């Protein structure tokens, strides 16, 4: 079955986005998870200053109803204005290659 890409928003689906690494690395004894509330606050447009001038879109990759990856597309308008360019960034990239294949 193919991998399906689903956009999530802060209002709907962000918990799945944040929790994916915790689920993926649940059996890894050296995995140190980030604090959920810290991640959630950073993604909250009302709390985190970046959202005043930048835009972020969050995406989950799913296969057979299971999350197999995540990524965020980031438009930092201050960076682009300062450097007089039009570039985008990505972040929060985590993939489960074994589950994607």
| Residue 68 parent element (H or E) | strand 66-76
What are the Cα distances from residue 3, in Å, to 9, 46, 81, 99?
Answer: 19, 32, 35, 10
Contact 49, 63 (CB under 8 A): no
Fold of 4-100: Aminopeptidase (3.40.630)
pTM of the model: 0.89
- Structural domain boundaries of the chain? 4-100
In the block, which residue shows the tokens 């890894």? Answer: 28
Query: How is residue 64 written in tokens?
Result: 């057979």
Q: What is the pLDDT of residues 6-56, one digit of tens each?
A: 999 999 999 999 999 998 999 999 999 889 999 999 999 999 999 999 999
Task: Provide CB contacts within 8 A for 5, sequence distance 6+.
Answer: 59, 60, 61, 62
């Amino acid at each position: 079955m193919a991998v399906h890409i689903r956009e999530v928003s802060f209002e709907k689906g962000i918990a799945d986005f944040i929790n994916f690494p915790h689920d993926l690395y649940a059996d890894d004894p050296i995995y140190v998870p980030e604090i959920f509330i810290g991640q959630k606050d950073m993604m909250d447009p009302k709390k985190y200053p970046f959202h005043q001038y930048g835009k972020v879109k969050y995406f989950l990759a799913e296969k057979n109803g299971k999350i197999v990856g995540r990524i965020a597309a980031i438009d930092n308008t201050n960076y682009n204005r300062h450097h007089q360019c039009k570039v985008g960034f990505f972040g929060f990239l985590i993939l489960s290659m074994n589950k994607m294949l």
